Structures are given as C-alpha cells and as structure tokens.
Amino acid sequence: MTIDFKTCAPVLLALSMAATAPVRASDEKTMASSVCQGTFPSDRDDAHYLTTELLAAGGEVQMNCSLIRDIVGGTMLWVDVRFDKKSAVAVKIPARVYSCNAAFHECSWKSNTNGGVHVGAGQHSFFVDTASLPHSDTYGRYFSFWARLPQGDSLMNLTSKEE
C-alpha cells in the first residue's frame, strides 16, 4: 500500500490544528463533600467525613470547599450546594461563593439567594448566582464555597456550572 503524502498533508494539518485548539465547553460538575474542610482546627475536629456526606458532629462547623474549574478565565455561572438539615427549627445558615485573585488574595463574594434561612428538616439547597463575580484577571482566579453548618446538619455535594 502506497500513501500519497501530498494529498494527505491538508488532512493531517487540519487534524493537528484541531487537536491543539482550546476546548470551551459549558459544563456542570458535581463534587462530593470530601473536597471541603473545616476552616479552623476546632471545625476540623467537629467535621466527620462519612461515606456520602460531611457531618457537623461536635458543634457548628465553618467549612471551605474548593470549586474545581476546567476553563481558566471562564465565567462561573452558578453554584448549588445540597445539605441535609436534621432540625425542623428555622435557622439561618450563611453561605458564600468566593472569587479570589490567585496572586494577591483579593476576593469578591456572593451569598445565597434566599438569605440563608431554611425551614424544616430534610434536604435543602444553597443556590448562589455567581455570573457577576470576577472570573479572570492577569494572575488567575480561584473559586471556593464557604458555609457554617449547625450541629447535626450534613453537607452532601456541590454542583457548579461554568462557561
């Protein structure tokens, strides 16, 4: 079998250019609560990692969770965090998403849209619209989720969407 490289060259060039083109997909990611950790040593002591959730066992737990990005400079559109509330009592659970400059640690943030008040036991969600947060600059930006969970409540997962 003989290959004519003169006729194959344009095809090979097109394929090699396609392979090096950046991928810009709008996608969602769901991460387990194991990407989170307590902010302070006492929070880390009170956070118990179970198979499918992070439980605030020994008291209220303040936690931080890294949000994974695959598009550097892309817009983080929203973040939705699922948790399981054990108590039927209405309680305010503060939550924020931070966008921070990677070099100087200058951060902007947005809080959850419902003011953080959650009524009734069961599964609830923190939804944070992050489209207006800074997403790109000279030094790059990283995103993280912060919350304070009352004792007995569990963080289940985090879902984010970027473009």
Q: Domain-by-domain residue ranges, the chain? A: 26-162
pLDDT tens across 17-42, in order? 444 445 555 689 999 999 999 999 99
Q: Using CA atoms, how far apart are residues 160 and 68, in angstroms rounded to an integer?
A: 9
Q: pLDDT digit string (tens) for 101-147? A: 988 889 999 998 666 777 889 998 889 999 999 998 888 899 999 99
- Predicted model pTM: 0.79
pLDDT for the residue numbered 92: 83
Nearest to 98 by CA among 133, 127, 129: 133
- Per-residue pLDDT at 65 exceeds 60: yes
Give the architecture (CATH level 2) of 26-162.
Answer: Sandwich (2.60)
- Alpha carbon separation from 72 to 90, 108, 150 (Å, rounded): 39, 17, 34
Is there a contact between 141 and 100 (Cβ–Cβ < 8 Å)? yes
